[in-house]
Amino acid sequence: MKKILQQTKWRFIDQSISANKRSPLESFAMDDTLCHLIGQQKSDATIRTWVHHDAVVLGIQDHRLPHIEEGMNVLIQNGYEPIVRNSGGLAVVLDSGVLNISIVLGEEKPLSINDAFELMVELIRALFPEVAHKIKAYEIVGSYCPGSYDLSIGGQKFAGISQRRMKNGIAIQIYLCVEGDGSERAERIKQFYEASLQGEQTKFQYPDITPHVMASLQQLIGQPLTVQQVNERLRQLLTAWNGQLYETPIQLNEMELYDYYLARILKRNESLLR
């Protein structure tokens, strides 16, 4: 996995500041655009960073909750915008203390689902060498959006990974809780599920959230770590590996494709949230 990270010529798109007042739907449209471009060999492999303020991104299964409208009202009352994403998983919190990283590759470098997850795990361990040996990848029961590639230190989750495959491209996405209180974020999602379920039994097993199993990297490392510091670490790491990092934002000739995917995602989200 490290060989792919170290030998690839990376395009770097930094939206850690520019995206923060936009809807997260724009970021999902951006990753779809990059999957299409890279899958058709019209762009180099790309690593993109992005931050959005105060949103809860729901999965398709969340939308099937019996009292979803009540749950979304709880989120809105707490200052969060609910949206539905187009990749796997369940509800996650995005805010100014959460850094998202997308690795987008073409399938000319074929990766199994597990190998794609392992690629992101490798990147995160390289980003945090001071605790790399402590970072484990396994499901943290009681966390929100639990999965077999939850990243944790000492049993407390700080990140979750998802992936999307389309047009011969693969987008591997991670949310890193860098700053703030991870258990407070978990408490918000706990309230969402309580309001959305209201004690009803469902065929799908939604997570029974235990807030204390989640924390931020700032809390786990015990340092005043910030989103922008981690973003800069990533830039420096990729440059040090092969010196082939180049920063190029979305170009005019790529915007038409982006507009197409954004319109599609907005329409789909609107239909799901009616």
Just list the catalytic residues. Answer: 145
* Angle at 103 (CA atoms; ends 145, 178), nearest 5 degrees: 55
Helix and strand numbers, DSSP H then E, in the chain = 9, 11
Cα gap 158→164, rounded to integer Å? 21
3 state DSSP class of 172: strand
Cα gap 111→105, rounded to integer Å? 9
Token digits for 237? 């790491």
Burial of 41 (0-12, 13-18, 19+ CB in 10 A): exposed
**Cross-strand partners of 246:** 11
The full length of the chain comes to 274
Evaluated on CA atoms 90, 166, 175, 251, the torsion sign reads negative
Helix, strand, coil share of the chain (percent; to 5):
40, 20, 35
End-to-end Cα separation, the chain, in angstroms: 42
Cβ-contact 23, 55 below 8 angstroms: yes
Give the number of other CB atoms < 10 A from CB of residue 271.
9
